[in-house]
Structure 1
Amino acid sequence: MPYIESSVRRKQLVAAARSVLSREGVARTSLRAVAAEGGVSLGTLQYVFPSKELLLRAVIEDVVDEIAGVLQDSVQVEDGLEHAIRQGLTGFWSRLVAEQTDLQLMQYELTTYARRTPRQEYLARWQYERYAGIVAQWCQEAASNAGEVCAVPFARLARVLVASVDGLILQHVCDPNPARSREDLDTVIDMLIALARVRPAIRARAADDA
């Protein structure tokens, strides 16, 4: 068997885990099934991921990184926060929701599995902290690059954004309706932009000094 670097092997096994999780669900996914999907022995998998908990954490991290990549690729963050929210969420929905309901269902299952499994509850909290953290950083970068300020803290804007989109995704997974979902997404985007009340930083400072 040819030598494969550990970083490459890790990515392959995470991809295999995502396939099995999406197909079988979290509860029915075992390390043995992931090893078979990845074409490696169980011992090789356990050398990289000694426990299912570590494997699930790696899957969550991989999904978060994918979301971050989609957000960054969807917009020019120099065009401001409103543009970033509008284009970023539209791109996210098109690429990761509309045609990937299995991926979204897997993420919800990861959350509920972690919440119901003793000593793994922290994974659910960590999952949403990562989601909100990456969105907050992305929003702050867009506003900063365009010389803008946001009316609410970026951390709060990110939490509201994640919660709103999360609800739309769950509704879409349970009752797929592409036209309705896009209309609702546009409404959520308008609500988020209204919440942010973006202003040029210079104008905001002048108003504060008045």
Structure 2
Amino acid sequence: MAHISAAERRPQLVQAAIDLMAREGVEAGSTRAIAAELGVAQATVHYVFGSKQDLYRAVIEHMTCELVERVRGAARPDDTFERSIRRMAGALWEGMREQPQRSLLHTELSTYALRSPELREVLRDFQRSMEETAASLLTETAARSGRTPAEDPLVIARFFLSGLDGIEQRYLLMSDGTDETDGTAGDDLNRLVTAVLRLAGVGEGEGD
């Protein structure tokens, strides 16, 4: 059997961990179970990742990169500021609707971290990274549109992400597979984006 380096195993193990925990929950994500998911020895997980916290950090970083790539891919150079923000928010929301179990995994990891000092620091880093990335995207979008946000982009980013977390958690709790739940969440997302635009100093429909 050909030897597979740690660098090659790393993304495989991260994906196996995401698939397993999204399907069965964070508590199911032992190193033994993750190894079994990929079909490798448990020692392989410990060799590639020094600790479970390191593995969880890699899982969170991977999920974050996926979100950022999705949002960046939604932006269009010729859009107005408002359209860009709405398009990017919509891309985030569609990602959640398409893979609700991944959103649930993020919620579970966040809750689990509150009782784990090591993992709590990992999630704090993730939160800061998401806020800084959102602020950077907001700044880039404003610059393309020839605008200067009326509020600090980091403040706007925190406000948006906090609101989105609330809408997402309510959707996961209330969703029963009907269009009614989707519609309610979609309306709430539109209201949140409108509030974000006003915080940025842009009135609804302005510039379209």
- Tell me if both proteins adopt one fold, taking TM over 0.5 as the criterion: yes
Partner of 2:103: 104
Q: 1:80 to 1:46 in 2, by over 3 A?
A: farther
Instruction: Name the stretch that deviates more: 142-151 or 159-168.
Output: 142-151
Normalised to the residue count of structure 1, the TM-score between the two structures is 0.88
Partner of 1:133: 132
Measured on the aligned residues, the alpha-carbon RMSD in Å equals 1.7
**Distance (Å, rounded) in 1 between the aligned partners of 2:142 and 2:77:** 8
Q: Give aligned pairs, total.
A: 198
SS at match of 1:11: helix
Residue 113 of structure 2 corresponds to residue 114 of structure 1: yes
Q: 1:23 to 1:77 in 2, by over 3 A?
A: same
Residue 194 of structure 2 corresponds to residue 190 of structure 1: yes
Superposition map of 1:18-97 within 5 A: 18-77=18-77, 79-94=79-94, 96-97=95-96
**Distance (Å, rounded) in 1 between the aligned partners of 2:10 and 2:65:** 15
**Distance (Å, rounded) in 2 between the aligned partners of 1:106 and 1:131:** 16
Name structure 2 gaps, 5 residues minimum. Answer: 176-180, 204-208
Can you list the C-alpha shifts for 1:100-120, whole angstroms capped at 9, x where unaligned?
221111001111111111333
SS at match of 1:64: helix
* 1:182 alignment partner AA: G
Superposition map of 1:199-210 within 5 A: none
SS at match of 1:119: helix
Partner of 2:13: 13
- Contact conserved, 1:74 with 1:88, CA < 8 A, in 2? yes
Can you list the C-alpha shifts for 1:48-80, whole angstroms capped at 9, x where unaligned?
112110000001101110110010111115534
- Contact conserved, 1:151 with 1:195, CA < 8 A, in 2? yes
Percentage of identical aligned residues: 32
**Distance (Å, rounded) in 2 between the aligned partners of 1:151 and 1:125:** 27
Superposition map of 1:159-174 within 5 A: 159-174=158-173
Name structure 1 gaps, 5 residues minimum. Answer: 200-210
Normalised to the residue count of structure 2, the TM-score between the two structures is 0.89
* 1:17 alignment partner AA: A
- Contact conserved, 1:72 with 1:88, CA < 8 A, in 2? yes
Can you list the C-alpha shifts for 1:83-104, whole angstroms capped at 9, x where unaligned?
221000111111x211222111
Residue 180 of structure 2 corresponds to residue 181 of structure 1: no
Can you list the C-alpha shifts for 1:4-43, whole angstroms capped at 9, x where unaligned?
3543321111100001111221123100111111222111
* 2:133 alignment partner AA: I
Can you list the C-alpha shifts for 1:170-208, whole angstroms capped at 9, x where unaligned?
000000111111111111111111111149xxxxxxxxx
* 2:163 alignment partner AA: S
